[in-house]
Amino acid sequence: MTSTNLLDGTSPYLKLTHPSDDEKVAQWKKNGVFWKGALTIEAYLKRERYLLEVPLARDGGLTHWILVDPSGSGSRKVLAGCETLKKKALVAHNGLVEDVVCHGVGSVFSPTEFRSRGYGVRLMQEVGSRLRTWQTNGTHCAFSVLFSDIGKLFYAKSGWHPFPSAHISIPAITGDLAGSNFSPQAKELFAGDLAELCAIDEQLIRAELNPYALKPIVAILPDISTIQWHHAREEFVGKELLGSVPKVKGAIFGEEGKRVWCYWTRMWYNDDPLQRKGNTLHVLRIAAENVSAQSTEDLAVALAAVLRIAQHEAKSWRMEQVQIWNPAPFAIVAAKTLDPHAEIIHRETESITCLRWYGDGSDSDSTIPATDQCDWIANEKYGWC
């Protein structure tokens, strides 16, 4: 089949299916040209295979989808593809807080030779419908999310509507942490510290949800498997680029009952592994105990201590900045404490957080903006995929 006789994206002959192993590799080779960053294409392929065995992804947690034309002679043409990750989530509504399934959509890609024919839109329409009942195992999928790097309009056509997508950044720093006004009281977190804190954080999120609100309130759970998935990515890339694995996974400040902590991950965006520009230490999640019993000022002081360690880690791993998504008011104060020039940036084209609302199956309408149908709390970097 040549490019001049490809089927249109609305053709009834197109089919949504799952790729063979060879088709997965072929897709990785094509999208790796755009997404590999400083990795070689061989290392990028190794990373994708490695991530299939991470707890969140293995045993069917990660699903590959492709849109194909099965009608031609010979091997079928893979016109577009994506991946979905099954995530644990909560919905508060009608007096209840319910455990539900959420699917995160990522790696949406159509090869260059197949673009501008509507295959991406068709893929997302098909996947969006399928996810409503995909891997629900006795519960239901209440919503799915994705993170658009092509603005706010494309995915809205298929039901994923944009939610607030803001961040604040502070620069990486050098110097001795012992000389800081903040960091002596903060403690570094390592991989072995995270499971207990993730379990506590889950209870904090459950307590924050108001089941009597006018609209349903949703949250993706920052469970240990989700946090480990992010860390598996950074560990692989760190080893490939710099020959070592990051050990410090976050930091914590305060006494039990009033603790503030966060987890982070490092992402190398620059094509040159020796350069810092663009590389970012992303704060995955900020958690705080008994928020209502603490002042904004106290919370900000605690978080500033934690973020001071993040700045130091960022510099150590060739990061340019530390970035916090959709920061709470005390996080904004903390960031400005460390960098008075820090300001909120509202993203319009990249990493736009988008949600498609399914509800219980009877109260959803993909043409209505999801922001009118539900509220999304803890919309932070850990939800990204």
Q: What's the gap between Cα 62 and its chain centre? A: 14
Residue 183: its pLDDT value, please?
45
pLDDT per position as a tens digit, 278-304: 999 999 999 999 999 999 999 999 999
- Among residues 359, 302, 31, 25, which one has the least CA distance to residue 182? 302
- 48 Cβ contact partners less than 8 Å away, ≥ 6 residues apart: 24, 28, 32
The dihedrals phi and psi of 180, each to the nearest 5 degrees, come to -80, 150
- Is the Cβ–Cβ distance between 385 and 104 less than 8 Å? yes
Classify 41 in phi/psi space as left (phi over 0), alpha (psi -120 to 50) or beta.
alpha
* Global confidence as pTM: 0.95
Contact 217/210 with Cβ under 8 angstroms?
A: yes
Interval 231-256: pLDDT, tens: 999 999 999 999 999 999 999 999 99
Amino acid code (one letter) for 127 = V
- Rounded to an integer, the average pLDDT of 196-211 is 97
pLDDT band at 360 (very low <50, low <70, confident <90, very high): confident
Q: Could you tell me the pLDDT band of residue 34, with boundaries at 50, 70 and 90? A: very high
* pLDDT score, position 138: 83
SS3 sequence of 28-43? HHHHHHHHCCCCCHHH
Confidence at residue 72, expressed as pLDDT on a 0 to 100 scale: 67
